[in-house]
Structure 1
Amino acid sequence: MKHTIKMLFFAVALLSSAITMAQSTITGNVFDAEINGPLPGANILEKGTNNGTTTDFDGNFTLKTQSKSGEIVITFVGYNAITVAFNGNTNIGTKQLASDTSLDEVVIIGSGVIDLAEDRKTPVAVSTIKASEIQQKAGNWDLPEVLKSTPSIQNLKSGGFGDGQMFIRGFDQTNTAFLLNGQPINGMEDGKMYWSNWSGVMDVANAIQVQRGLGASKLAISSVGGTVNIVTKTIDRKEGGFVQQMIGNDNYTKTTAYYSTGVNEKGWSFSGLLGHWQGDGYVNNTDGEGQTYFFSVGYQPNESHSLNFLLTGAPQSHAAAGSGSIGSFIENGRKYNSWNFSGVNSTNTLNGGEYPGGRNIYHKPVANISWDWTINDKSELSTVLYGSMGRGSFAQARTSGDQVTYARGSNNNHDWFGLVTNYNSQLSETLNFNVGADVRLYNGFHFRDVREFITVDSVSNTSGYSGSYELTDSFGGVSPWDVFFNPNNDHSQRFGYDYEEQINYAGVFGQLEYSKDQLSAFFQGAISNQSHVRTEFLNTEFEGVSEESDKVNNLGYNLKAGAAYELNETHKVFVNAGYYSRQPFHDTLFQDNRGGNTLLDPESENEKITGFEAGYQFNGGRKISANLNVYHTTWDNVTKYNSNGETGDDFLSFQTLGVKQVHYGVELEVNTRPLDNVKLNGFISLGEWQFKDNATQRTFDNDGSQVGADEEIVIDGFNVGGAAQVTAGINGSYEFLPRFSIDGGWNWYNDAFSTGSLGAAPLSMPSYDTVDTGLSYKMLVGENKTNSVQFRLNVSNVFDEVYLESVNGTTAASSIESENYKGINKSNTGRFGYGRTWNTSIRFNF
């Protein structure tokens, strides 16, 4: 018996020894390649098994393998996986995981025409938001909301879905250049941006880069305040995708699905995204609904050529919010909508609420073909050919007496085609040269028609400024798909106004960059011609006969230069200067839609923009970095145009000439990582934005004839309204468990002023601050732990701060205190910001 026990003990010991000898102990350290710091929570898995572990807060790990030799796979959601071989006990040292959402890892087709600041060694004032942050913090907001924690940027949410706007250094969106994969997307007629048409861009964005001021763009574009580059998905290196469900306040819901095949052995890749959203809207009677679609096909026949076709769009329909007095908001609450009436005896209301005040309906598909050609190791050519077709309407219910009769559509449609191409050559070790072209062909058509008959079968008129007409056909209803596929091409079924615009643009640009040792410098130049022709179909001399205006040609150009000096690896200084001669927008050249083809006399001249910037960059490694920028921008010789609305024979329009604005300020941005699992960032921007000198105003009647003599408008020394001139913020995140983090941000706005008619002193608005927070958790799932389920919660304006977001008016405070709100007369038109809002989502990444 004793011998048997001894033999069993010996056998067990021998087996244990054999097992031990077959195992290996693998140790190592995993770092984030971008910040060169530890990556806590990275997954270490023995390939072909379920045996694994995760890194600690210092990025260290120890794994006992089941086999003596083999491979381990190191993964982390949002980073590219790496595989490391082992044979026996092994210390693999430090392995770096590169984020697949960093600009270095993003596959960009048409990269030569996407002007990212990283492409040039001479710095600019820039902030970059990467896909991981966009994915977390975008929620159900538009792009401007994501950018609000960057210096000199303010986002105003406004009323309904997609109706917000953004200011950079005090300049509105018409003076900020927005680019989508190198394609200009500001309105060709007026430079405006409507975020409701781009609601899907956040779902497909790989990165968004804000270049304040002069920026790095080589195009002859209208960037006074700055440039926003939106880089979307094109080709994904590997197969994968996600499915996401989001819900939010006021019955908001959004479902999104994305899949990419990755690049196969023959060089082909396919990706697509589909999404649907709907909600009641924060403001009363501002419900909305829309879809998002995105399709991309890539082909890489060899290492020298990459081609990609992309199609994306965001058809949507949402009810708008009317303006109201501050007193009305105080009486009815900040969700008040002045277009929300209970009866049907108003021209702004449809019984049942389908057209409460007005409904924005639009569909603007965008397609482009990109081609990158690596000619040799020193030169390359990038080309993007694009096109878009916008079809949409602002629909309003019309009444007769106490009865709603029909829905009137104010249509703003366009066809837009363009080409951007850029050739880049490394002339020598120190000189880089590129040259390119930018061509745009735009046809806009604007008219009024019947969107839907409600209680009548036809609409007719025999007098008034609109002329005589009888309308018997309706077009499109309230669906953006119907609006797009059921266009009104019949001039006899249009009324009020009916005209087209042909705007053609052609420009060339170039840049020479020098870089040697610690010194870098660049010089840029661009010249362009923009032509305008307007064709009138309704307000013409002979009924039924169209009239075409003379062609107007405007030549513009810009010059930019800068230099940077790297004092050492930690400190760098730079200075940039630029001058733009910018062509006026089409809408400031011609009389408005009542005046036909009449050119405003005198025609608007080119605007003159002069900018100076200087900066200092501090790079203290992964623990701390800082950017300090100072700027001075003069926007001169500006023509502003406005009208007083539809008042029949008393319709008046105003042309203000020689407006000059001077904006200068300082910006400080600091990014820190005090602990491996803690990020803490902050910024402050101090601005002074004022009108300089007085301007001249002309008044025109309904026929486009000047009324009275020129008059001087006193604006010298007035503050520029619309955005806060002093902003600050602190934001940070704390990962208290692997892949489990909380983040938050505080933003403060001060020295904001009202907008209103030129010639009246703006009002000083009360300052305010808001706090936002979020919670994230990623759970690794799947056989190899390479998939994940991600949970996210966003809460905006956590403390439900009540604040005036904007004021349009110049009525001074009343001596009767009850007629004021925080020093602002309640009779002024204004809008309060949103209260506490939230959204939460669950996302499966595979």
Structure 2
Amino acid sequence: MKTFNNLFFVVTMFFVTSVAFSQGTITGTVVDADSGPLPGASVVVKGTTNGTSTDFNGKFSLNVNSASGKLEISYVGYDTKTVSFQVNGTKDLGTITLTSNNSLDEVVIVGSGIIDLAEDRKTPIAATTIKKREIQERAVGNVELPEIIKFTPSVFVSRQTGFGDGRLLVRGFDDTNTAVLLNGQPINAQEDGRVFWSNWAGMADIANAVQVQRGLGASKLAISSVGGTVNIVMKAAEKKKGGSIRFLTGNDSYFKGTAEYNTGVNEKGWAFSVLIDHWQAHRKWARGTFGQGQNYFFAAGYKPNDRHSFNFLITGAPQYHGNKWSQNVQTTLDDPKFNQHWGFTEGLSGGQYRNNIDSERRNFYHKPVMNINWDWTISEKSELSTVLYASWGRGGGTGPRGSRIRTDDGQLDYFAIEQSNAAIGNGGFDNATSGYIRRASMNNHAWYGIVSNFNHEVNENFSFNVGTDLRYYVGDHFRQVANLYGLTAWQEDGQSYTTEYNPDPWAALFNFADEGDRLDYDYSETITYQGLFAQGEYATDKFSAFFQGAISNQSYQREGRFAGDLGKSDKLSKVGYNLKAGLGYEFAKDHKIYFNTGYYSRQPYLDNVFTNIRRSNEFVQPEVDNEEITGFEAGYQFEVDGVFRAVFNFYHTDWDNRVLLSGGTLISGGVETNINIFDRGVRQVHRGVELELDARPTDWLDLRGFVSAGSWEFKGTSNRQIYNDDTNVLISSIEGVNRDGVKITTAPQFTAGLTAKARIIKGLSIDANAKHYGNHYTNDRDFDGTPQTRNFPTLDSFELVDFGLTYNFTIGDNKLTFRGNVFNVFDKRGIQDTDVFGSFPITGRTFNTSLRYNF
């Protein structure tokens, strides 16, 4: 009996132990809906240390010691997913799909201390992040990089009809007042703050992420950030070995081919990456908007040990394309594709050319960019990040000089122009009453800089960083002859010009006019900048607070070489600064509120400092003062475990003492005079609200909606000075111009949008994006010296819908991805925008398709 009892006890304990410690085995496959299996994903029983990782095919097998519970499945760059299980034996959970999140930790390989991202600060800001996969899906080929952030509150992207001619506006502020940073390097033009997206045509292929920060943002630099900051995170030398080949086609004979390869990190810590591509099209959508270009990228990374990391890269995107400017409203409405600047250039048929096209308005540019990043981990609490950068721009834009001859349908008649020029011979005219040539306005520059940031964690709650931002810029501006069209020479201002300079981005690198062969104007600008910045942040689990400060000195100097050999101007220096502070508080689980405020004293742009930037060394009198920007914003964030997120923002930006620079023609007594107009002491106030909603109701559906409503208008009075563009003489001065209540005309003041992405079956997903634009006021284009003192009509509201489809399938261990996009699905027509260059139509329906092979 005793033996039986002992045996019963042993068997019972074995059975209990088996039940307690080996209830069963759970299997499954972890995938990304678009890219397939996720090897190395973590699978852990919630509340325990019992876990495993997925294999190369995303599969896992895990023994569990309870009959029910929850698994936490995580992967870098994806939202953690919790899955319930009940098991008795073996349980297959099937395919578990993870969703990519907005974290940038996995894409910032080097320079993370320089790139000011929202993730790096605990106190919230209004920010939206687009990662590499979405960039490669949507910002491809005949779509520029700004297009990927257009489905964002208070963001307007004007899709101009030429390649790279689009404009980006945030909260009503254009790109001259929205800072754009490339790996922490400012790329807004030093003279006027503009961003020429055609110069960065290759960014979509080499960007790991783009983050748009609306309002005060997270940047520590003393940059020109009034509307917001756009951070473009460029790829570095990749850690993973592999490459890809992609072919893309689109409407109007668009074609693009791209190839890239990454060596991965070798045993000595070196990694290399290279990318090249070529694209071309006979037009983007409107007539005469042809284009062609290339993109090249090379990066070398070196990590000798755990404390130091280096990365060198050089990239450039030489391109040329035809522009579409100066169409009036009625012409745009009658024929949105009409373009007055182009014509056929060869192939005689019936006394006219009928083959090949060119445009008197051609943009051509090549801007190689090089930088070296160094990340130094000094200790567990201290690190230093530094980037040394340089860029060299060569190229410009062409335009007419002389008398055009057109065909009956409004195109340039190049055959008739050449016949007329041949009859003239050597020219011999100063007033351009006969004959015709194409000139090129050149902008050649060299830009060097260094940004360095030291970060130190004092303790688990407090950290600070300090840094420096140094820049040196020299820009040469002049005009040269691009095409004589049969003339032996062009004579102007007593000088004869006989040499043609090809308006091509590769030729422009080294072949441009010497000083003695430049016409109309020739001058240089030198801008130096020295800045210091600092930030401190205190954060606990519930509360966070930060303070930022920056001070900078900027100097301007001009050298005139054309009008009487003006020589160098005096050097003018301006000191600017900014102060920012903010608070964040999580008053309940997943409920957070924040408040940020800031003040900028911003130096004026160089173009606003001189009375005539092309022909005069004289400073505007009285001297132009700093602009003053005061902003504050408040917000509320709510999130439920990656299933639902709501963000509400309120903002108020008061921009005072700004200068508006414009030009035009003054008609008096039947005489036309070209003029420069300085509006000084202008004040405008931008305020509004933004609501963002994100929802993932199921594993296969992502939804996002937003509404933004603004009230942007001028306040108070301002003064106006009008100068003769040729003689630099002050024509008139108007004081006390009342602009109070006049609406800002830069962008739609009301937008609303909805985006959806659905994963249909394994590897197949579709997405759709819709956006409504309203309350967009037209621009003042009278150009008669009369200030804008009244409200103008609004443009008709409109809606745009885009559609996309992605299908991934495998070939052995490699992946093939098909992507198709249709933009403006319903072919909406009308006017989307007006500015000093004319009215711009809503670009009609366009499309592209691509096939990418990853290996």
- Say yes or no: TM over 0.5: yes
Residue 572 of structure 1 and its aligned partner are, at CA, apart by: 0.9
Report the Cα distance in structure 2 between the residues aligned to 1:646 and 1:355, rounded to whole angstroms: 32
- The change in CA–CA distance for 1:111 and 1:417 in structure 2 (over 3 A counts) is same
Relative to 1, partners in 2 of residues 1:649 and 1:567: Cα closer, same or farther, differing over 3 Å?
A: same
Structure-1 residue corresponding to 2:769: 745
Counterpart of 1:486 in structure 2 is: 511
Q: Secondary structure at the match of 2:113?
A: helix
Q: Is the Cα contact below 8 Å between 1:406 and 1:455 reproduced in 2?
A: no
Contact 2:665-2:672 at 8 Å conserved across structures: no
The alignment status of 1:790 with 2:783, answered yes or no, reads no
- Report 1:250-649 matches (<5 A): 250-279=252-281, 280-331=283-334, 333-340=335-342, 354-396=357-399, 398=401, 403-404=417-418, 406-461=437-492, 467-475=493-501, 477-488=502-513, 490-540=514-564, 545-644=565-664
In the aligned structure 2, how far is the partner of 1:194 from the partner of 1:351? 32
User: Is the 8 Å Cα contact of residues 145 and 204 (structure 2) preserved in structure 1?
Assistant: yes
Asked if structure 1 preserves the Cα contact closer than 8 Å seen for 2:28 and 2:61, the reply is no
Distance in structure 2 (CA, Å) of the matches to 1:508 and 1:709 = 38
1:631/1:666 contact within 8 Å kept: yes
- Pick from 814, 817, 841 the counterpart of residue 850 of structure 2: 841
Provide Cα deviations, 1:79-126, integer angstroms capped at 9, x if missing partner: 99xxxxxxxx98899999796995121142111110001000001000
The answer for the alignment partner of 1:108 in structure 2 is 109
* 1:703 Cα deviation after fit: 2.5
2:681 counterpart of 1:658: yes
Residue equivalent to 1:84: none
Distance 1:342 1:310 in 2: 40
Distance 2:26 2:634 in 1: 47
In the TM superposition, residue 468 of structure 1 has moved relative to its aligned partner by 2.5
Do the aligned partners of residues 750 and 649 (structure 1) sit closer, same or farther apart at CA in structure 2, a change above 3 Å counting?
closer
Query: Is 2:804 the counterpart of 1:774?
Result: yes
Shift of the 704–843 alpha-carbon distance from structure 1 to 2, 3 Å rule, reads: same
Task: State the alpha-carbon separation in 2 of the partners of residues 496 and 351 from structure 1.
Answer: 33
| In structure 2, C-alpha distance between the alignment counterparts of 1:415 and 1:351, rounded to whole Å | 41
Indicate conservation of the 8 Å contact 1:350/1:356, yes or no.
Answer: no
8 Å Cα contact 2:677-2:723 kept in structure 1? yes
The answer to whether the Cα contact below 8 Å between 1:499 and 1:538 also exists between their aligned partners in 2 is: yes
| Aligned equivalents of 2:601, 2:848: Cα separation in 1 | 44
CA contact (8 A) 1:724 1:749 kept: yes
Superposed CA deviations along residues 471-513 of structure 1, whole A, max 9, x for unmatched, are 23333x132100112233x211001000000000000000011
2-structure distance, mates of 1:439, 1:258: 33
- 1:143-185 CA-to-partner distances (Å, cap 9, x unmatched) read 2211011110011011211001011000001000000000000
1:452 to partner: Cα distance: 3.6
Q: Distance in 2 between matches of 1:383 and 1:686?
A: 40
- Deviation readout 1:765-792 (Å, 9 max, x if unpaired): 111001111111000222xx3x210000
1:546 offset after TM fit, Å? 4.5
Range moving further from structure 2, 449-458 or 368-377: 449-458
| 660 and 351 in structure 1: CA distance in 2 versus 1, 3 angstrom threshold | farther
What is the root-mean-square deviation of aligned Cα atoms in Å?
3.0
Write the mapping of 1:678-827 to structure 2, written as runs, cut at 5 A. Answer: 678-701=701-724, 702-756=726-780, 758-761=787-790, 762-782=792-812, 785=813, 787-808=814-835
Closer/same/farther in 2, CA of residues 335 and 263 from structure 1, 3 Å limit: same
Shift of 1:642: 1.5
Contact 1:500 1:534 in 2 (8 A): yes
Any idea what SS the aligned residue of 1:306 has? strand
**1:685–1:728 CA contact under 8 A, matched in 2:** yes
For the 8 Å contact 2:591–2:639, the answer to whether it is kept is yes
Q: Amino acid of the residue matched to residue 650 of structure 2? A: V
Structure 1 unaligned regions, length at least 5:
1-24, 46-51, 64-73, 81-88, 462-466, 810-827
Is 1:28 the counterpart of 2:33? The answer is no
* Offset, 1:454: 3.2
Counterparts of 2:854 and 2:208, CA distance in 1: 16
Cα distance in 2 for residues equivalent to 1:173 and 1:307? 31
- Tell me the equivalent position of 1:20: none
Q: Normalising by the residue count of structure 1, what TM-score does the alignment of the two structures yield?
A: 0.84
Q: Greater shift after overlay, 685-694 or 215-224? A: 685-694
Q: What secondary structure sits across from 1:567 in the alignment?
A: strand
Which region of structure 1 is more displaced relative to structure 2, 410-419 or 394-403? 394-403
Q: Letter of the aligned partner of 1:669 in structure 2?
A: E
Which secondary structure state, in structure 2, belongs to the residue aligned with residue 113 of structure 1? coil
AA matched with 2:511: N
CA shift, 1:406, in A, is 3.8
How far has the Cα of 1:456 moved from its partner?
2.5
Distance of 1:53 and 1:738 partners within structure 2: 17
The code of the aligned residue for 1:487 comes to F
CA distance in 1, matches of 2:662, 2:594: 40
Find the counterpart in structure 2 of residue 832 from structure 1.
841
Residue pair 1:98, 1:105 contacting (<8 A) in 2 also:
no
- Rounded Cα–Cα distance in structure 1 between residues aligned with 2:34 and 2:219: 34
Tell me how far apart the structure 1 counterparts of residues 397 and 371 of structure 2 sit (CA, whole Å).
27
Alpha-carbon separation, structure 1, partners of 2:314 and 2:455: 27
- What code does the residue aligned with 1:451 have? A
Once residues 145 and 353 of structure 2 are traced to their aligned partners in structure 1, the CA distance between those partners, rounded to angstroms, is 32
Corresponding residue SS for 1:652: strand
The separation in 1 between residues aligned to 2:353 and 2:301, in whole angstroms, is 47
Amino acid corresponding to residue 28 of structure 1 in structure 2: T
What is the CA distance between 1:644 and its match in structure 2? 1.3
User: What are the superposed Cα offsets for residues 1-43 of structure 1, whole Å, 9 maximum, x if unpaired?
Assistant: xxxxxxxxxxxxxxxxxxxxxxxx974245579xxxx999637
Distance in 1 (CA, whole Å) between partners of 2:296 and 2:400 is 30
SS at match of 2:332: helix
TM-score (norm 2): 0.84
Q: CA deviation at 1:653?
A: 1.4
The alpha carbon displacement at 1:326 in A equals 2.0
Q: What is the CA deviation profile of residues 787-844 of structure 1, one whole-angstrom value per residue up to 9, with x for unaligned ones?
A: 21000010011111123101348xxxxxxxxxxxxxxxxxx95221111110000000
Query: What SS class does the counterpart of residue 707 from structure 1 fall into?
Result: strand
CA distance in 1, matches of 2:506, 2:344: 30
Gap change, CA 1:709 and 1:40, over 3 Å in 2: closer
1:322 Cα deviation (Å)? Answer: 2.3
Partner in structure 1 of residue 692 of structure 2: 669
Higher alpha-carbon deviation: 666-675 or 391-400? 391-400
Distance 1:611 1:32 in 2: 44
| Alignment check: 8 A CA contact 1:179 1:185 kept | yes
